[in-house]
Amino acid sequence: MLDIKFIRENPDLIRQAARRKRLDFNVDQLLSADENRKKILQEIEELRAKQNRASERIAALKNEEEQDAAAKDLRELKEILSKKEYEYRKIDGEWSKLMFDVPNIPDPSVPDGETERDSKEIRKWGEPKKIDFEPKDHISLLSSLNLADLQRGAKVSGFRGYFLKNEAVILSLALWQFVFDEFRASNYEPILAPALVREENLFGSGHFPQSREDVYKTQDDVYLSATAEIPLMGFHSGEVLDETDLPKKYLAFSPCFRREAGSYGRDTKGIYRLHEFFKIEQLILSVADHQDSVKFHEELTGNSEKIVQALGLPYRIVAAASGDLGRAHVKTYDIEVWIPSERRFRESHSSSYYHDFQTRRLNIRYRDKTGKSRFCYSLNNTAIATPRILIAILENFQRADGSVEIPEILQKYTKFNLIKPVFSDR
C-alpha cells in the first residue's frame, strides 16, 4: 500500500511502476474514485456536524415532549445521511480494492525486463569444481544414496510430496544449526515462528489479495504461511515502536507451505519446488530512510553470501528484473547457486526491500526524534531454505565413485564427512 497523497501527487510514477512491473493498473480509475470518495466524505462530514449540533440542542432541552418534537425534524437529515453513507461505503470499497492493487515503485537501479531471464548479474563468487565425469542430478543422487523417497512421498502426501531419509535428515538439521550459529554473535533475534497465520497478515505482507491461490487455507480460516516473513511482519503489527529500538532484526525458522498453483509444468521432479519445506528467514524493520534500506539490503544479502560461501557453493547475485518483481517490492536480489547437472545457476535465496509498503498495511510505526509517528521500512532475505539447498550441496560435492562429500563447515554437526552409495535397500 502506498500513501494516497503520494499517489495523487505522482500518478506518473505509479503509471511507470505498473508499466515496468508489467502490471495492468489504471491510476486514473483510482484517482477518480479517490476524488469521488473525498467529495462524498466531505458531504457526510458536513451532515454529521449538522446532526451533532442539533443533537446537542436536543440534549439541552429539559422537557421530553420538546425533545421528541425536535427529534422528529432530524429524521429527514438522518435519512439523507444514511443514503450518503451507503454511497460512501460503495465507493470506499472500490477505492480500497484499487489501493490494494497499486504497485510499489521499483528502484531506478532495477533492470527493466519481463521475466527471470532479464535479471542482471551483479557479482559472482567461486568457481564450479572441475568434474571430470558426467555429474548426476540431485534426483539420482537422492536415490542412489538413499536420501529421499519421492514415490512414497507422492503416495502419502500427493504431488510434490517427499520423505527425506538418513544422511539428508542429519544434513538438514546440521544446516539449521549452522545458520543459527552463524548469527549467534549478531544482533538478529532468533525466533521459531508460527506457520498458521490469520488472513490480515497475508494482506499486510502484500501476498493478498493477489496471490490467494498460492496459499493453503484451513477450515478454521487461518492460513498456512508460505514464509516466516508473514508471521514476522505480523509480529509488530499495530504497534508504535520507539526510534531507539530500531532497527529490529530477526532470524526466524518456520515450515513453509506453497500450493504452487501456477507452476504445474515446472520442476515437477525432485525437491526443487515443493509444497512443504523449511526456511530460516532474516527480517529487518528500520527507520523510514531509503539509504538505510539500501544499506540493510546489502547487509541481508551479505549475511546469506557468507553462509553460501562457508558451504563452498559457487553462486551469483542477480538483480531481479522489474517484471519479475512482486507488487510489494522495491528491489530484489536473488542468490543463485551453481547446479552442475543443469550447468546453470538457480535461485536459492531472495533478498528484498519494500520501503513502507508492508508496514503501512500492517500499521507498524515508530515515533521519531521529533515525536512524529512514521511507518517503519521493512526488508527480508532467506538465510537458508531446505531441502532446496541440498540439491546444490549434493551435486557440487559429488565424487566419481558416486559418494558425496559434506562441506567442511558442516562436518562438526553431521559427525560424518561422506555420504556413500548403498547397493541394497537399507
Contact residues: RNA, CB under 7 A: 5, 38, 41-42, 44-46, 48-49, 51-55, 58-59, 67, 71, 74-75, 78, 89, 240, 373
Query: Minimum distance from CB of 324 to RNA (Å)?
Result: 32
CA dihedral (90, 91, 94, 97) in degrees, to 10, reads: -100
Q: How far apart are CA 395 and CA 392, in angstroms?
A: 5
Residue 191 or 339: which CB sits closer to RNA?
191
Q: Under 8 Å CB-to-CB from 330, ≥6 apart: which residues? A: 104, 105, 106, 107, 110, 293, 352, 353, 354, 355, 357
Known active-site residue 350? yes
The single residue of 160, 327, 365, 388 carrying the catalytic annotation is 388
Q: Are 331 and 352 in contact (CB under 8 A)?
A: yes
Query: Minimum distance from CB of 182 to RNA (Å)?
Result: 29
Q: Under 8 Å CB-to-CB from 346, ≥6 apart: which residues? A: 272, 336, 337, 339, 391, 392
User: How many other C-beta atoms are found inside a 10 Å radius of the C-beta of residue 281?
Assistant: 26
Residue 71 or 418: which CB sits closer to RNA?
71
Residue 186 or 373: which CB sits closer to RNA?
373
Q: Which spans in 120-183 are helix H? A: 138-144, 150-157, 166-182
Q: How far apart are CA 30 and CA 7, in angstroms?
A: 9
Residue 56 or 132: which CB sits closer to RNA?
56
Question: Which three cell numbers, joined as nine digits, stand for 331?
Answer: 528491489
Residue carrying C-alpha cell 489479495: 209
Q: How far apart are CA 62 and CA 124, in angstroms?
A: 83
Query: Minimum distance from CB of 83 to RNA (Å)?
Result: 12
DSSP string, 258-305: ---TT-TTSS-STTSS-SEEEEEEEEEEE-S-HHHHHHHHHHHHHHHH
Query: Minimum distance from CB of 64 to RNA (Å)?
Result: 8
The single residue of 350, 351, 352, 378 carrying the catalytic annotation is 350
Query: Minimum distance from CB of 229 to RNA (Å)?
Result: 21
Residue 89 or 290: which CB sits closer to RNA?
89
Q: Are 362 and 204 in contact (CB under 8 A)?
A: yes
Residue 31 or 41: which CB sits closer to RNA?
41
The single residue of 43, 85, 347, 405 carrying the catalytic annotation is 347
The single residue of 19, 22, 273, 374 carrying the catalytic annotation is 273
Residue 67 or 140: which CB sits closer to RNA?
67
The single residue of 20, 37, 160, 258 carrying the catalytic annotation is 258
User: Half-sphere exposure (CA, 13 Å, Cβ side) for 342?
Assistant: 14
* Secondary structure of residue 64 in the 3-state scheme: helix
- The radius of gyration of the chain's CA atoms, rounded to the nearest angstrom, is 27
Query: Minimum distance from CB of 398 to RNA (Å)?
Result: 38
Q: How far apart are CA 347 and CA 389, in angstroms?
A: 9
User: How many other C-beta atoms are found inside a 10 Å radius of the C-beta of residue 84?
Assistant: 17
Amino acid letter for position 94 = E
Known active-site residue 15? no
Known active-site residue 426? no
Query: Minimum distance from CB of 287 to RNA (Å)?
Result: 16
Known active-site residue 388? yes
Residue 55 or 268: which CB sits closer to RNA?
55
Q: How far apart are CA 3 and CA 23, in angstroms?
A: 19
Query: Minimum distance from CB of 210 to RNA (Å)?
Result: 23
Q: Using DSSP bridges, classify how beta strands 189-192 and 248-257 pair: parallel, antiparallel or unpaired.
A: parallel
User: Which residues belong to the active site?
Assistant: 258, 273, 347, 350, 388
